Chains A and B, each alone.
Chain A
Amino acid sequence: MSTLTDTDHGVRRPPWGWLAVGFGAWIAAYASLIPLADAVIAVLGLTRATHLGEAIHFFFYDTPKVLLLLTGIVFLMGVVHTFVAPERTRALLSGRRLGLGNVMAASLGIVTPFCSCSAVPLFIGFLSAGVPLGVTFSFLISAPMVNEIALALLFGLFGWKVAALYLALGLSVAIVAGLVIGRLGMERHLEDWVREMQATQSAAYESATPTWAERIDAGVAHVKEIVGKVWPWVLAGIAIGAGIHGYVPEDFMVSIMGRDAPWWSVPAAVLIGVPMYTNAAGIIPIVEALIGKGAALGTVLAFMMSVIALSLPEMVILRKVLKLPLILTFAGVVATGILVVGFVFNAVL
């Protein structure tokens, strides 16, 4: 193999042909979801009229559907990420005022690549470039909470309306929480070494503009990384959902998390969510099971947001840069936002 030409990024042509083939295959697969599920139960000699048939049909329809959606969206986001490096986001947000800055920060949080292990470098990088504290928080809340995996899974499992609502409400929580933290003027609760760093601007690293071939590579790499890690969770979630779909009647969940549950069910869901720490993919099986058992959507979404956005391990990491009062304020403001989301959702739907 002529490895030299294969790895020479300067001259490699983007694999547009493969991309077109992949896109065509994706469309074809998505279009044949129902025939496939029908075929599976036909081969097994079952009909959808039986519990077992219905459960198996649900499993073989939902699993490929969710995995297809996930692959498609994760690929697109992998490509989008190459356009919005954190350095670029920082440059866009630098010197912005509260208000518009928060809206931009929360929106950029969706498309900027983010991993919770780089939360702290990112946080300091933003502050040292003159991004206001409140705007930085809007980004830091939105980035993990409103991400493509959560949206893709909600879209696949519960439809686009639930996904859109999650998107809108997640953004609102990030924007409002950032605004509140900014208004409180809590800069003095940053750790001292962070404030010193804010004064001394360090030279930022600028990466070279990637080629289209590299952008597509990045999309493929993102799919391998995310879908490769997430698929067992998706499978488990849908299997649980299928079991419920076919058999379990709505039961005690309705009384403690359902629509007519006592008012404290939303705060309780948020509280239970804080010590739990998992990513969007890990929480989906639980969400699927809760909704399948008749829990109210607002309560479940509040629980999901709390698990993803408010986690003890992340607070421990942030403690390196924030003093305790600021951490508590951050947790309090975000928790309040999530509570409002839960209550509003339950009231409206």
Chain B
Amino acid sequence: MKNIKVLGPGCANCKNTHALIETVAKAKQIEIQLEKIEDLQAIMSYGVMSTPGVVIDGKVVHAGGVPPRAKVEGWF
């Protein structure tokens, strides 16, 4: 099971990203463990400067804005 973290201090785009990943995973019927990381120090420890960022199994795969749906689909 993939562990996915959405990095972001709770802005609108961070919530949209979280929802998008949830939707895509559900549509593909893939079980994932989805977390929100809102603590700034924790976000910074991933070396991400523009939020929202997405971390899959400890690796940053996206930063700076809501990812396009096609990109999210490519992760699964």
Please list the residues of chain A having a beta carbon within 8 angstroms of any beta carbon in chain B: 6-7, 9, 85-87, 90, 113, 115, 117-118, 120-122, 124-126, 128, 193, 197, 202-205, 207, 217, 221, 320-321
Contacts and interface: CB of A to CB of B under 8 A. Distances in A.
Contacts of A90: 49
B70 A7 contact: yes
Nearest to B74: A7
Given A87-B49, A205-B53, A117 B9 contact: yes
Contacts of A197: 41, 44
A121 B44 contact: yes
B44 A125 contact: yes
A238 B60 CA distance: 44
B58 to A, nearest CB: 12
B48 A117 contact: no
Looking at chain A's contact residues, the main secondary structure is helix
B1 interface: no
Contacts, number: 76
Contacts of B12: 117
Interface of B: 8-14, 40-41, 43-51, 53, 60, 62-65, 68, 70-71, 73-74
A124 B49 CA distance: 8
Contacts of B51: 117-118, 121
Nearest to A193: B41
Nearest to A121: B49
A342 to B, nearest CB: 31
A207 B41 contact: no
Given A9-B70, A113-B65, A221-B68, A202 B50 contact: no
Given A193-B41, A202-B44, A320-B40, A113 B50 contact: yes
Nearest to A114: B50
A199 to B, nearest CB: 13
A315 B73 CA distance: 38
